[in-house]
Amino acid sequence: MKKNIVLYKTIPADQLKRLQQHFNVTIFDSVNQSNHADFRRALVNAEGIIGASTPITADDLAIATKLKAASTISVGVDQFDVSAMTARGIPLMHTPSVLTETTADTIFTLVLCSARRIIEMAEMVKAGQWTKSIGENHYGWNVSGKTIGILGMGRIGYAVAKRAHAGFGMSVLYYNTYDHPEAESQLNARRCDLDTLLAQSDFVCVVLPLLPSTEKLIGKKELQKMKPSAFLINGSRGKIVDEAALIDALETGVIRGAGLDVFEVEPLPIDSKLLTLPNVVALPHIGSATHETRYAMVECAVDNLIAALNGCLTHNCANPEVSKK
């Protein structure tokens, strides 16, 4: 007999067909206020769930008494009550490997766009304001040869460091809970404490998971330790940066600018001060948003759920301690 699962995101037809070959699938294109009650009713009989962008709370898990596995179409797992899932022995799978290079591309795009004022200058041209050779008030700043400080030397952090070192001759500093020998031997990266990284970096790139220990890791004190000429780049999770403190730092010249793909509240509210600041590049959380990568993420998430519910999951588990229960 096929197991019951709940799919709560639109996915390509061929990947939906794969799920339907293995499971009885209850489908929600997304979860919103109008169908949330139906979604919760579906959880009652679900042995597996797969989707993205919808919080799965302890209350949701409490009614999902038959749940045996969850698969998220993302690398981040902050939408889930991971502690509650682990306590129940429910594996939570994610897609950490397939989006590494695409996300690193996005982060380094933010570095370049912020320093060279690419978005600002492109909008000037499109608005018909390029009427003579540009002057000093439109100049940007070099990226090559500068120092990049990377908070988090995991897969994506290392991919960003490779681009910085090999492509732009940048010095690489990193802040991490453990040494990364390959980054040090191949990229001449140097591990240091947070204060040193902030003080010495021309670009501070946040590439950390959102955890209780990283929430608002970058606040007023940390921003004040950065160079006035430095840029803050955030391509991980918005809540790692104290947004109010960042806005103040950008308005008062504590730092030169910021490139942001993530925010405390998403979508970014239309009245956010960040949208009024010329020294901010703001993107709509597009880190992994290419056709190839988003397809690969769905395929990986489907693989993960099939493996977990068949009892043969070997990797991509965000809470691997459940295997010890």
Give the rounded percent of residues in the chain with a pLDDT score beyond 70.
99
Our separate counts of H helices and E strands in the chain read 13, 12
In this structure, the strands spanning 231-234 and 23-27 are unpaired
- Provide, for the chain, the percentages of residues in helix, strand and coil under a 3-state DSSP scheme, each rounded to the nearest 5: 40, 15, 45
Q: Between helices 100-116 and 155-162, what is the axis angle to 10°?
A: 50
Structure confidence at residue 203 (pLDDT): 98
Structure confidence at residue 275 (pLDDT): 97
pLDDT, tens digit (0-9, with 9 covering 90-100), for 128-150: 999 999 999 999 999 999 999 99
Structure confidence at residue 26 (pLDDT): 98
- Do residues 266 and 61 make contact, with C-beta atoms less than 8 angstroms apart? no
205 pLDDT above the threshold of 60: yes
Structure confidence at residue 69 (pLDDT): 97
CA dihedral 187, 193, 196, 199 (to 10 degrees): 100
- Report the top-level CATH class of 3-96+292-324: alpha beta
**CATH code for residues 100-282:** 3.40.50.720
Helix or strand or coil: residue 167? helix
228 pLDDT above the threshold of 80: yes
Structure confidence at residue 1 (pLDDT): 87
Give the rounded percent of residues in the chain with a pLDDT score beyond 90.
95
List Cα–Cα distances, 267 to 62, 219, 238, 298, in angstroms. 29, 21, 11, 22
In the chain, list all ranges with CATH 3.40.50.720: 3-96+292-324, 100-282
E strands in 114-256: 147-151, 171-175, 190-191, 203-206, 231-234
Structure confidence at residue 293 (pLDDT): 97
pLDDT, tens digit (0-9, with 9 covering 90-100), for 308-325: 999 898 899 999 998 665
Catalytic residues, by residue number, are: 237, 266, 285
pLDDT, tens digit (0-9, with 9 covering 90-100), for 242-284: 999 999 999 999 999 999 999 999 999 999 999 999 999 999 9
What's the average model confidence in pLDDT over 23-46?
96
pLDDT, tens digit (0-9, with 9 covering 90-100), for 46-81: 999 999 999 999 999 999 999 999 999 999 999 999
CA dihedral 243, 154, 78, 3 (to 10 degrees): 160
